Amino acid sequence: MFSKLLSATTVVLATTQLVAAQTSTACDPTKKTCPDDPALGTTVTVDFTKGKSDLFTAADGTTVTYDGNGAVFTINKAADAPTITSNKYIFFGKVELVVEAAPGAGIVTSFVLQSDDLDEIDWEWIGSDTTQVQSDYFGKGDTSTYDRGGYHSVSNPQSNYYTYTLDWTKDYVRWYINGQQVRELLYADAKGGTRFPQTPMQIKLGTWCGGGPDSPEGTAEWAGGRTDFSQAPFIAHYKTLTITDYSNGVKNAEKYHWPSGSDGSYSSIDVITGDGSSSSASSSASATSSAKSSATSGSSSATKTSETKSTLSTSTVSATSSASATSGSESSASSTATASGNNDSASASSSGSAAAANTSAPATTTSGALKTGFSVSALAAGLMVAFML
């Protein structure tokens, strides 16, 4: 029994390490008073082929060059992690990115929306995976479940430009490749909306190395293996970016204000307009309730069918094989450590997802986060598993 206890606990602790990490935030408005978020409030197109955009700020240590292919993000060594972050926020919106991902085992290219309280929506590319791109989402930095991420078929994203789109409203998130929807997340599907991304977000673009000599084994495995720097440089080209801020349905938005006591729900956040007036989403509470009810009733079938809408189909695997794939998928952690959260801390770990643990049906393949450390709850889970053996 004791050997079973050790074995089971080890497995649970290892799994916990894959999903415990979260991205960083400079100020979480649900925990303290933070500055208002400056609103984009309109639609803009950023053409990186014409050079640097004032809409973005480079992370410390970042060097980005520009040419006819757009913004050039270069990895020459393991410590390189070029990252830029928008200095404006969108409060629901649509973002379209034309990008050619960086090649190379262990090299990750990322396109992330992230909020102050760690809501997040992602696209991620593994440099050695020439057939797929990964999608993901997080609510409030929660990495406690295994059912968030997915793989979507796309041919040679490291040598072809594709348009990757995130369409984000209070009711759904939709992922598109070249205009074809490959995934949909409904509000009710994210733990009844409690983990649905719904707070003002910045846009973060970045490329980083998950296969460096000091990267954890699991991170390197998820990122496609150890990076051979004799093949450097590894380059991603971010070409153009079109951003539309829905401003939660309010015109002339200038700021997004989190009142004291905000629980991180979209209805608790005020939109401050150009004339100084404030419009709160809570005024549409009845419409919100109706939307939630509709999302709940249709969520299961919609989610299952949306991933097969195009020939760029979502790859699925069984829960067992997903769990195996996830043993190396923890690097969405570092991903948003650099590509997502690098603006706050170069060493920050990112949110990631792990493989779906639903044993009754196939589950979408997922990516995951990495964080070492001991978990009392994990130990308890280990005890439970052991006594069930």
Q: What tens digit of pLDDT does each residue of 38-73 get? A: 999 999 999 999 999 999 999 999 999 999 999 999
Report field, pTM of the whole predicted structure over 0.75: no
Q: Does domain 28-248+297-372 have CATH number 2.60.120.200?
A: yes
Distance CA 20, CA 258 (A): 26
Residue pair 55/88 in contact (Cβ under 8 Å)? The answer is: yes
Q: What tens digit of pLDDT does each residue of 202-222 get? A: 999 999 999 999 999 999 999
Active-site annotation holds for 124: yes
User: For the ranges 116-130, 134-148, 367-381, which has the lowest average pLDDT?
Assistant: 367-381
Residue 384's contacts (CB-CB under 8 Å, 6 or more residues apart) are: none
Instruction: Identify the band that residue 129 occupies on the pLDDT scale cut at 50, 70 and 90.
Output: very high
Domain ranges of the chain: 1-20+374-389, 28-248+297-372
Distance CA 126, CA 134 (A): 8
Torsion over CA: 171, 176, 181, 185 (sign)? negative
The CA-CA-CA angle for residues 148, 31, 291, to 5°, reads 45
Nearest to 95 by CA among 63, 56, 61: 56
Q: Quick one: tokens of 386?
A: 């052991």
The pLDDT > 70 percentage for the chain reads: 66
259 prior amide bond cis, ω within 30? no
Write down the pLDDT at residue 18: 34
Q: Which of 100, 124, 221, 330 is catalytic?
A: 124
Distance of CA 292 to the CA centre of its chain: 23
Q: What tens digit of pLDDT does each residue of 245-298 get? A: 999 999 999 999 999 999 999 999 999 998 777 776 444 433 333 344 444 444
Residue pair 12/384 in contact (Cβ under 8 Å)? The answer is: no
Dihedral (Cα; 222, 22, 334, 131), 10-degree rounding: 40
Residue 204's contacts (CB-CB under 8 Å, 6 or more residues apart) are: 83, 84, 85, 86, 110, 111, 112, 113, 114, 336, 339, 340, 341, 342, 343
Residue 209: its H or E element: strand 201-209
Q: Which of 120, 184, 307, 330 is catalytic?
A: 120
Q: Where are the beta strands (DSSP E) in 294-339?
A: 314-317
